[in-house]
Amino acid sequence: MEIYILNMPQRQERRESVKKTFEGKESFILHFVTPVSHPEPRVSHWLTFLHLTKEAKALGLDNFVFCEDDHVFTSQFNEKQFFETLKEANQLKADILMGGVSWMATPIQVSDHLFWLEQFNGTQFVIVFNRFYDKILFSNWQESSVVTDFHLSANSENIFVMYPFISVQQDFGYSDVTPFNNTEGYVKDLFQRTSTGLYILNKVRTFYHERS
Protein backbone atom coordinates (compact mmCIF):
# COMPACT_ATOMS: atom_id res chain seq x y z
CA MET A 1 0.00 0.00 0.00
CA GLU A 2 1.39 3.39 -1.03
CA ILE A 3 1.99 5.82 1.85
CA TYR A 4 2.81 9.45 1.01
CA ILE A 5 4.33 11.15 4.05
CA LEU A 6 4.55 14.94 4.26
CA ASN A 7 7.88 15.99 5.72
CA MET A 8 9.82 19.22 5.52
CA PRO A 9 13.56 18.53 5.08
CA GLN A 10 14.46 20.39 8.29
CA ARG A 11 12.10 18.24 10.40
CA GLN A 12 14.41 15.28 10.81
CA GLU A 13 13.01 14.39 14.24
CA ARG A 14 9.58 13.93 12.67
CA ARG A 15 11.00 11.89 9.79
CA GLU A 16 12.72 9.49 12.18
CA SER A 17 9.62 9.24 14.38
CA VAL A 18 7.30 8.29 11.53
CA LYS A 19 9.84 5.87 10.04
CA LYS A 20 9.96 4.12 13.40
CA THR A 21 6.19 3.71 13.60
CA PHE A 22 6.22 1.90 10.22
CA GLU A 23 9.08 -0.44 11.15
CA GLY A 24 8.19 -4.10 10.52
CA LYS A 25 5.03 -3.21 8.54
CA GLU A 26 6.07 -4.61 5.18
CA SER A 27 2.70 -4.02 3.50
CA PHE A 28 3.33 -0.27 3.45
CA ILE A 29 5.55 1.41 0.85
CA LEU A 30 6.77 4.76 2.18
CA HIS A 31 7.29 7.86 0.02
CA PHE A 32 8.50 11.03 1.72
CA VAL A 33 7.07 14.15 0.12
CA THR A 34 8.21 17.75 0.53
CA PRO A 35 5.05 19.89 0.84
CA VAL A 36 4.17 22.24 -2.02
CA SER A 37 5.68 25.62 -1.25
CA HIS A 38 3.24 28.31 -0.09
CA PRO A 39 3.55 31.03 2.58
CA GLU A 40 0.30 29.86 4.22
CA PRO A 41 0.74 26.38 5.79
CA ARG A 42 -2.91 25.32 5.42
CA VAL A 43 -2.83 26.18 1.69
CA SER A 44 0.46 24.30 1.27
CA HIS A 45 -1.18 21.32 2.97
CA TRP A 46 -4.17 21.39 0.61
CA LEU A 47 -2.05 21.89 -2.52
CA THR A 48 0.07 18.90 -1.53
CA PHE A 49 -3.04 16.78 -0.98
CA LEU A 50 -4.31 17.88 -4.39
CA HIS A 51 -0.98 17.04 -6.05
CA LEU A 52 -0.83 13.56 -4.51
CA THR A 53 -4.41 12.81 -5.54
CA LYS A 54 -3.58 13.79 -9.11
CA GLU A 55 -0.50 11.54 -9.01
CA ALA A 56 -2.47 8.61 -7.58
CA LYS A 57 -5.04 8.94 -10.36
CA ALA A 58 -2.31 9.06 -13.03
CA LEU A 59 -0.75 5.91 -11.56
CA GLY A 60 -4.11 4.14 -11.49
CA LEU A 61 -3.97 3.48 -7.74
CA ASP A 62 -7.12 2.03 -6.14
CA ASN A 63 -6.29 4.03 -3.03
CA PHE A 64 -3.41 5.72 -1.26
CA VAL A 65 -2.58 6.96 2.22
CA PHE A 66 -2.02 10.65 2.84
CA CYS A 67 0.14 10.67 5.96
CA GLU A 68 1.63 13.45 8.05
CA ASP A 69 5.00 13.07 9.73
CA ASP A 70 3.47 13.31 13.22
CA HIS A 71 1.40 10.15 12.66
CA VAL A 72 2.02 7.26 15.04
CA PHE A 73 0.23 3.90 15.20
CA THR A 74 -1.63 3.14 18.41
CA SER A 75 -1.40 -0.16 20.26
CA GLN A 76 -4.72 -1.07 18.59
CA PHE A 77 -3.11 -1.43 15.17
CA ASN A 78 -3.33 -4.94 13.76
CA GLU A 79 -2.34 -5.42 10.14
CA LYS A 80 -4.87 -8.17 9.38
CA GLN A 81 -7.72 -6.19 10.96
CA PHE A 82 -6.55 -3.03 9.19
CA PHE A 83 -6.93 -4.56 5.75
CA GLU A 84 -10.24 -6.20 6.66
CA THR A 85 -11.58 -2.81 7.77
CA LEU A 86 -10.21 -1.21 4.61
CA LYS A 87 -12.07 -3.79 2.53
CA GLU A 88 -15.26 -3.23 4.51
CA ALA A 89 -15.05 0.55 4.05
CA ASN A 90 -14.56 0.07 0.31
CA GLN A 91 -17.67 -2.14 0.17
CA LEU A 92 -19.56 0.71 1.87
CA LYS A 93 -18.42 3.02 -0.96
CA ALA A 94 -16.17 5.10 1.29
CA ASP A 95 -14.52 8.14 -0.23
CA ILE A 96 -12.04 8.49 2.62
CA LEU A 97 -11.19 6.45 5.68
CA MET A 98 -9.27 7.88 8.65
CA GLY A 99 -7.09 5.98 11.05
CA GLY A 100 -8.12 8.39 13.80
CA VAL A 101 -9.49 11.93 14.18
CA SER A 102 -9.05 14.74 16.68
CA TRP A 103 -12.61 16.05 16.23
CA MET A 104 -15.77 14.75 14.59
CA ALA A 105 -19.40 15.60 13.94
CA THR A 106 -22.36 13.20 13.95
CA PRO A 107 -20.58 9.85 14.41
CA ILE A 108 -22.78 6.86 13.54
CA GLN A 109 -21.48 3.34 14.12
CA VAL A 110 -22.00 1.11 11.08
CA SER A 111 -19.99 -1.93 12.20
CA ASP A 112 -17.68 -3.13 14.95
CA HIS A 113 -14.73 -1.26 13.46
CA LEU A 114 -16.24 1.62 11.49
CA PHE A 115 -18.00 4.89 12.27
CA TRP A 116 -19.54 7.13 9.62
CA LEU A 117 -18.82 10.85 10.15
CA GLU A 118 -20.42 14.00 8.84
CA GLN A 119 -17.27 16.07 9.45
CA PHE A 120 -13.83 15.49 10.86
CA ASN A 121 -10.59 17.14 11.84
CA GLY A 122 -7.20 15.42 11.69
CA THR A 123 -5.43 14.31 8.51
CA GLN A 124 -2.40 12.54 9.96
CA PHE A 125 -3.50 9.21 8.36
CA VAL A 126 -6.13 9.37 5.61
CA ILE A 127 -6.90 6.62 3.10
CA VAL A 128 -8.26 8.10 -0.12
CA PHE A 129 -10.23 5.82 -2.47
CA ASN A 130 -10.13 6.24 -6.25
CA ARG A 131 -13.88 6.90 -6.46
CA PHE A 132 -13.16 10.23 -4.72
CA TYR A 133 -10.21 11.36 -6.88
CA ASP A 134 -12.15 13.37 -9.45
CA LYS A 135 -14.34 15.04 -6.85
CA ILE A 136 -11.20 16.24 -5.08
CA LEU A 137 -9.49 17.35 -8.26
CA PHE A 138 -12.48 19.27 -9.63
CA SER A 139 -13.82 20.68 -6.36
CA ASN A 140 -14.19 24.42 -5.96
CA TRP A 141 -11.91 25.90 -3.33
CA GLN A 142 -10.73 29.32 -2.26
CA GLU A 143 -7.17 30.02 -1.20
CA SER A 144 -8.43 32.45 1.44
CA SER A 145 -10.39 29.79 3.32
CA VAL A 146 -9.38 26.26 2.31
CA VAL A 147 -8.62 23.80 5.12
CA THR A 148 -8.05 20.24 3.94
CA ASP A 149 -10.13 18.28 6.45
CA PHE A 150 -13.10 20.65 6.35
CA HIS A 151 -12.96 20.91 2.56
CA LEU A 152 -12.99 17.12 2.24
CA SER A 153 -15.90 16.94 4.70
CA ALA A 154 -17.86 19.43 2.63
CA ASN A 155 -17.33 17.41 -0.54
CA SER A 156 -18.19 13.91 0.67
CA GLU A 157 -21.06 12.09 2.32
CA ASN A 158 -19.02 8.89 2.62
CA ILE A 159 -16.47 9.57 5.36
CA PHE A 160 -15.47 6.85 7.81
CA VAL A 161 -13.05 6.43 10.71
CA MET A 162 -11.58 3.22 12.10
CA TYR A 163 -12.55 2.14 15.59
CA PRO A 164 -10.63 1.81 17.77
CA PHE A 165 -8.26 4.45 16.42
CA ILE A 166 -5.15 2.97 14.86
CA SER A 167 -3.54 6.40 14.35
CA VAL A 168 -3.00 9.50 16.47
CA GLN A 169 -0.64 12.46 16.26
CA GLN A 170 2.72 12.36 17.97
CA ASP A 171 2.88 15.43 20.22
CA PHE A 172 6.01 17.38 19.30
CA GLY A 173 4.80 20.47 21.17
CA TYR A 174 4.31 22.39 17.93
CA SER A 175 2.38 22.12 14.67
CA ASP A 176 3.63 22.95 11.19
CA VAL A 177 0.10 23.51 9.87
CA THR A 178 -2.24 24.56 12.71
CA PRO A 179 -0.77 27.29 14.95
CA PHE A 180 -3.34 26.97 17.75
CA ASN A 181 -2.21 23.37 18.28
CA ASN A 182 1.16 24.65 19.50
CA THR A 183 0.56 23.76 23.15
CA GLU A 184 2.20 20.67 24.56
CA GLY A 185 -0.39 18.00 25.34
CA TYR A 186 -3.24 19.79 23.54
CA VAL A 187 -3.41 17.48 20.50
CA LYS A 188 -3.09 14.35 22.65
CA ASP A 189 -6.09 15.48 24.70
CA LEU A 190 -8.14 16.11 21.55
CA PHE A 191 -7.62 12.57 20.31
CA GLN A 192 -8.30 11.12 23.75
CA ARG A 193 -11.62 12.94 24.11
CA THR A 194 -12.73 11.94 20.60
CA SER A 195 -11.72 8.32 21.14
CA THR A 196 -13.59 8.26 24.45
CA GLY A 197 -16.71 9.54 22.70
CA LEU A 198 -16.62 6.64 20.23
CA TYR A 199 -15.92 4.20 23.05
CA ILE A 200 -19.12 5.31 24.81
CA LEU A 201 -21.17 5.00 21.63
CA ASN A 202 -19.75 1.53 21.03
CA LYS A 203 -20.63 0.48 24.60
CA VAL A 204 -24.22 1.66 24.10
CA ARG A 205 -24.50 -0.23 20.80
CA THR A 206 -23.06 -3.40 22.34
CA PHE A 207 -25.42 -3.17 25.33
CA TYR A 208 -28.56 -2.97 23.21
CA HIS A 209 -27.37 -5.62 20.76
CA GLU A 210 -26.88 -8.02 23.64
CA ARG A 211 -30.39 -7.29 24.93
CA SER A 212 -32.08 -7.77 21.56
Average pLDDT estimate for 29-52: 97
Position with higher pLDDT, 61 vs 177: 61
Residues 6+ away with beta carbon under 8 Å from 33: 4, 5, 6, 7, 48, 52
Q: Mind listing the pLDDT tens digit for each residue in 85-107?
A: 999 999 999 999 999 999 999 99
pLDDT given for residue 177 in this prediction: 62
Q: What proportion of the chain, given as a percentage, has pLDDT over 70?
A: 93
182 pLDDT higher than 70 = no
* Rounded distance between C-alpha atoms, residue 17 and residue 22, angstroms: 9
180 pLDDT higher than 90 = no
Give me the domains of the chain, ranges plus CATH numbers.
2-211 (3.90.550.40)
Cα 159 → chain centroid: 11
* Rounded distance between C-alpha atoms, residue 158 and residue 179, angstroms: 29
| CA dihedral sign of residues 71, 122, 95, 105 | positive
One-character DSSP codes across 49-98? HHHHHHHHHHHT-SEEEEEETTEEE-TT--HHHHHHHHHHHHHTT-SEEE
Is 0.85 topped by the overall pTM? yes
User: What's the chain's average pLDDT?
Assistant: 93
pLDDT given for residue 208 in this prediction: 77
Q: Check if the beta carbon of residue 167 is closer than 8 Å to that of residue 102.
A: no
- Alpha helical stretches, state H, the chain: 12-21, 41-59, 79-91, 133-137, 148-154, 186-211
Q: Mind listing the pLDDT tens digit for each residue in 41-77?
A: 999 999 999 999 999 999 999 999 999 999 999 999 9
* Rounded distance between C-alpha atoms, residue 107 and residue 202, angstroms: 11
183 pLDDT higher than 70 = no
Q: What proportion of the chain, given as a percentage, has pLDDT over 90?
A: 87
